[in-house]
Amino acid sequence: MSHRVPRTRAFAPDPTAPPGRPCDMPGCERFGEYRAPKSRRNLKDYWWFCLEHVRAYNSTWDYYKGMSPGEIEAQLRADTAWQRPSWPLGRLGRAAAWDEELLRDPLHLLAAGRVKRGSAQSPQQTPPELREPLATLGLSWPTTLEAVKTRYKELAKRHHPDANGGDRDAEERLKTINLAYAAIRSRLMPAPSVAAAG
């Protein structure tokens, strides 16, 4: 038989209520076991009421009372992002700039990859994903597929384990060369054309 955990009723007294505190409604002698915010500006400052008076208070509570339509719209927009700043997808705000102190870049890696807005990336600039593979093969950008193949064959012969007496370091170096060659080749190879069906 399954045991159901009893749910607290919506009108159950607040467990954080100060014990023995009287209701804040003048003339009421019951205990103040239910909290209600005093104002929208400070939602953590509470009145403590009995059940009857908290119901009456809640029925007249209007969070937006006294706000203009523009203020209400701004409040609703802020609430959709949990009161945190937000921007359209793909942009970091209109006047956004990275805080240089926040982005410490002693190796200047971020500065090297920065491209000014509105300008196309220079064709002579090495693609970031090819910098390491090109360095591994000892090539510079731009390059051709033929040059990459020639350099790969030369390095593969030189670092093949059979040519180095089974040396483990040469084997590891050859693995790195193979990965670099595959990365560059996949970038330089033309995309396969799709034959028309039919």
3-class secondary structure for the chain? CCCCCCCCCCCCCCCCCCCCCECCCCCCCCECCEEEECCCCCCCCEEEECHHHHHHHHHHCCCCCCCCHHHHHHHHHHHHCCCCCCCCCCCCCCCCCCCCCCCCCCCCHHHHHCCCCCCCCCCCCCCHHHHHHHHHHCCCCCCCHHHHHHHHHHHHHHHCHHHHCCCHHHHHHHHHHHHHHHHHHHHHCCCCCCCCCC
Question: When comparing pLDDT for 105 and 176, which is higher?
Answer: 176
163 lies in a domain? Answer: yes
Domain containing residue 71:
11-83
3 lies in a domain? Answer: no
pLDDT at residue 23, rounded to an integer = 95
25 lies in a domain? Answer: yes
Question: When comparing pLDDT for 121 and 145, which is higher?
Answer: 145
Instruction: List, for residues 69-111, the tens digit of each pLDDT value.
Output: 999 998 888 888 888 877 766 655 544 455 555 666 666 666 6
pTM: 0.37
32 lies in a domain? Answer: yes
Categorize the per-residue pLDDT at 169 as very low, low, confident or very high, splitting at 50, 70 and 90.
confident
54 lies in a domain? Answer: yes
Choosing from 83, 109, 143, the residue where a domain stops is 83
153 lies in a domain? Answer: yes
| Domains of the chain: total | 2
Choosing from 48, 83, 118, the residue where a domain stops is 83
90 lies in a domain? Answer: no
Instruction: List, for residues 5-38, the tens digit of each pLDDT value.
Output: 665 666 788 888 888 899 999 999 999 999 999 9
60 lies in a domain? Answer: yes
pLDDT at residue 70, rounded to an integer = 92
Choosing from 83, 102, 119, the residue where a domain stops is 83
Same domain, 75 and 132: no
Q: What is the CATH number of the domain that holds 132?
A: 1.10.287.110
